[in-house]
Structures are given as C-alpha cells and as structure tokens.
C-alpha cells in the first residue's frame, strides 16, 4: 500500500459482507499512510517497510521477507506505487494481482485519466491483471468500463473510475481464490469448478459477473 487504501477496504468489506472464505492476512505499506490506519481499524495486521530507508535491492528483500511472514495465497497490489524489479514479479507472478485505472493495454503508467481525455477516448475504465515486468503488463483478469462524458475532467473521471475499481477488484480477488477463474496458457479463463471451501459460499449468487469482462 502507498495511499488511502480505499481498494483494500472495498476488498475487506466485500469479503465480509458476502461471507466469502477469504481472510486478509496482512497489509504492507511502503511508507506511513492512511492505509495502515484503515487496516488497523478493520482489525487487520499491518506493517510499514519504508522504501526510503533502504536501497532498492534491500527494500525488495525486506518486502519479500515480510510477505513470506504472512504466507498468503494471493498478493494484492491495491495502490502500491513502488516500482519493483522484474525478478520480484517472476518469483511471485502466479499469486500477485494489481488494479490499474485504465483499460489496459491502453495507458499504462501514471496520469491515465488525463491521457485518456487528451486522446479523445470515448470509453475508459479499470483493469485487474497479473503482475509482471514491464509495468502494468500481465494477463488481464477483468475490466470495468464507463463512457466518458463531455464535461469530464481528470478529477471527475478519476472519481468515477475509482467506483468501478471498488466493484471489480473484490470480484477479481474472489474469482481467483475461489477457482472461478484460472490462469491457463497465460490467459485467465472461466472455470466451472470452484475450490472446495467455496461450495458453501454461494459465490455465483453473491456477485454478478455478467459485466466483469472475464474471458470464457
């Protein structure tokens, strides 16, 4: 985490509201930020590995060790702004997902809403994808879309896209951990076989996937 942690909160609240068999084991931030405060309020273990305190290689090592302490089934980059080396992604690719505020492969990197407006796009949105180098690449799990309005500016568009992020990110996390989507031949595809712990979760009925953009 690097900021407010609004996507983190949406994941925690959604999992708890629908009683999905998911537990957020920990939140790791690269600096002191609002996200760790929010995690504390939600009763979630949290830790700061400040990137300013270490050289890049040492930072990645300490971050990796902190992740191993938690031992998660899935690593979720929910507003983590530190740039990591490709080896880090390579080691953890199969269990790491990120959300990005554009319809990838369009507009990787920063200032996506401004760039979408400058490019006269008519549709914009957000993408959840597996993480690998280069930045904001990797197989796309799902996308959420909206129409750009004539009076939109980067700020108003960002607010609307964030609402989409809060909808699709919990869905994607649930889909991956439940086995609803699986990575096959470097592509996320829908599976009809849920993992054992999810059969009692009524997953299909608890969230609508019809507009989520999963591959089939």
Other CB atoms within a 10 A radius of the CB of residue 191 amount to 14
Range of the structural domain that residue 131 is part of: 6-206
Please give the C-alpha separations between residue 51 and each of 1, 42, 124, in angstroms, as whole numbers.
12, 25, 32
What per-residue confidence (pLDDT) applies to 125? 96
- Mean pLDDT of the 196-203 span: 62
Q: Is 166 a catalytic residue?
A: no
Among 5-9, 88-92, 193-197, the range of highest mean pLDDT: 5-9
Beta strands in 3-122 (DSSP E): 27-29, 46-48, 75-77, 96-100
Does pTM surpass 0.75? Answer: yes
Percent of the chain with pLDDT strictly greater than 70: 89
pLDDT top residue among 89 and 115: 115
Residue at 196 is within a domain: yes
Q: Are 85 and 71 in contact (CB under 8 A)?
A: no
What per-residue confidence (pLDDT) applies to 209? 46
Residue at 216 is within a domain: no
Enumerate residues 6+ apart whose C-beta is below 8 A from 9. 38, 42
> pLDDT tens digits for 125-148?
999 999 877 789 889 999 999 999
Residue at 1 is within a domain: no
DSSP-derived secondary structure letter, 84:
-
Sign of the C-alpha dihedral computed for residues 110, 111, 117 and 120 taken in this order = negative
Task: Write down the catalytic residue from 94, 100, 166, 193.
Answer: 100
Other CB atoms within a 10 A radius of the CB of residue 15 amount to 18
Residue at 211 is within a domain: no
Residue at 175 is within a domain: yes
What per-residue confidence (pLDDT) applies to 207? 46
Average pLDDT, the chain: 87
Into how many domains does the chain fold? 1
Name 125's bridge partners: 145
Residue at 146 is within a domain: yes
Residue at 43 is within a domain: yes
How far apart are the C-alpha atoms of 95 and 6, rounded to whole Å?
A: 21
How far apart are the C-alpha atoms of 27 and 110, rounded to whole Å?
A: 23
pLDDT band at 208 (very low <50, low <70, confident <90, very high): very low
How far apart are the C-alpha atoms of 108 and 39, rounded to whole Å?
A: 28
Residue at 215 is within a domain: no
How far apart are the C-alpha atoms of 98 and 102, rounded to whole Å?
A: 12
CATH number assigned to the domain comprising residue 25: 3.40.50.170
pLDDT band at 85 (very low <50, low <70, confident <90, very high): confident
């Amino acid at each position: 985490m690097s900021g407010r942690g609004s996507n983190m909160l949406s994941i925690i609240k959604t999992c708890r509201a629908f009683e999905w068999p998911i537990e957020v084991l920990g939140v790791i931030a690269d600096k002191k930020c609002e996200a760790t405060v929010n995690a504390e309020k939600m009763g979630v273990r949290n830790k700061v590995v400040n990137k300013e305190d270490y050289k890049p290689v040492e930072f990645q090592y300490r971050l990796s060790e902190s992740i191993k302490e938690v031992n998660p089934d899935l690593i979720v980059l929910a507003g983590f702004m530190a740039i990591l080396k490709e080896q880090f992604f390579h080691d953890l690719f199969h269990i790491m997902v990120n959300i990005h505020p554009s319809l990838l492969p369009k507009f990787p990197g920063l200032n996506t809403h401004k760039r979408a407006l400058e490019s006269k796009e008519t549709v914009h949105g957000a993408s959840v994808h597996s993480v690998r180098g280069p930045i904001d690449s990797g197989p796309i799990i799902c996308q959420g879309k909206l129409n750009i309005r004539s009076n939109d500016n980067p700020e108003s568009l960002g607010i609307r896209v964030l609402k989409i992020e809060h909808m699709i990110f919990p869905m994607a996390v649930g889909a991956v951990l439940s086995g609803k989507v699986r990575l096959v031949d470097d592509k996320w595809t829908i599976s009809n076989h849920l993992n054992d712990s999810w059969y009692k979760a009524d997953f299909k009925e608890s969230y609508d996937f019809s507009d989520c953009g999963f591959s089939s």
